[in-house]
Amino acid sequence: MKVILYGVTGMMGQSALRESLRDPEVEQILAIVRKPTTNQHVKYQEIVLPDISDLSSIQEKVMGYDACLYLIGVSSADVSEADYIHITYEMTIKVASQLIRLNPDMKMIYITGMGADSTEQGKKMWARIEGKTENALLRLPFKGAYMLRPLVILPMHGVRSKVTLHRILYNVLKPLNPLLKRMKSVITSEQLGQVILHLAKTGTTKEVLEKEQIKEMALSIQR
C-alpha cells in the first residue's frame, strides 16, 4: 500500500507516520510539505510545495496511491474566520478533488474534531466549517472516506505537539496517563496512528467515527 500524508509535522501526522513506517504492508509514504523536514527512511519521501493544496505541478508524482491521510488542523482561536475557512475547507477539498481524479480507487482519512456539525447550521463557526468539510469529502467518489472526531490524544514514543501550551499540559498530566488511558474519550497517539492506518487498509462500515468508536476500534486492533 502507498499513502500520501498531509500534516506530517503535527502530532497526528507524526503518529500516522510512525505506524506507517512500522507496518510491512505500507511500501511508500509521500508527505506533501511546505518546508523540508528531518524525516529519513527508505519508505519515506516528501515533496516541498509553496502551496500544498496545488498539485498541478506534481500530478504524475501523486498518482498510483491507495490512501490520503489528511491530518492538517488549525485552531479557530489562532486564525481569522476567513483563514479558518480557507485552511479547513477550501484547501482540504481542493486537495481531495485533485487526488480522487488522479487516483480513482483512493481512500481518504480526515481528522476533524468532536463537535463537528454535520448539519452546518449550528452556532459555532468552527463546528459548521468542519461539518461542511466532512460532508463535502463524503460526497466525493472515494473508495472510502472516513472522518475521525477524537477528543484527547496522549502523545507517546517521541510524538510531540507543536503547541507549547499543549506540551506543558501533557507533561503535567503525565503521572495520570495510566488512569486517563482507561477513559473512552482518551486515545494514545499510537492508537490513533493504528486506527488511521487500519482505515486506510481495510476501511469500515461507518463513515464518521466519534471518540468512543475510535477508542473501540483501537482496542480491537491491539487485541
CATH (domain of 127): 3.40.50.720
DSSP 179: H
What value does the mean pLDDT take over residues 205-211? 94
Length of the chain in terms of residues written: 223
Q: Rg of the chain's alpha carbons, rounded to an integer? A: 17
pLDDT digits (tens, 9 = 90+) for 78-104: 899 999 999 999 999 999 999 999 999
Amino acid at 139: R
Instruction: Share the mean pLDDT of the chain.
Output: 91
Is there a contact between 149 and 182 (Cβ–Cβ < 8 Å)? Answer: no
Rounded Cα gap, residues 87 and 66, in angstroms:
24
Buried residues in 59-86 as b, exposed as e (16+ CB within 10 A): eeebeebbbbbbbbbeebeeeeeeebbb
pLDDT recorded at residue 63: 98
**pLDDT band at residue 108 using 50, 70 and 90 as cut-offs:** very high
In a 13 Å sphere around the CA of 222, the CA atoms on its Cβ side amount to 15
Kindly report, residue by residue over 143-198, the tens digit of the pLDDT.
999 999 998 888 877 777 666 566 666 666 676 667 767 777 788 999 999 999 99
Give the domain range for residue 79: 2-222
Q: Which of 5-19, 55-69, 163-177, 190-204 has the lowest mean pLDDT?
A: 163-177
pLDDT band at 75 (very low <50, low <70, confident <90, very high): confident
The count of structural domains within the chain is 1
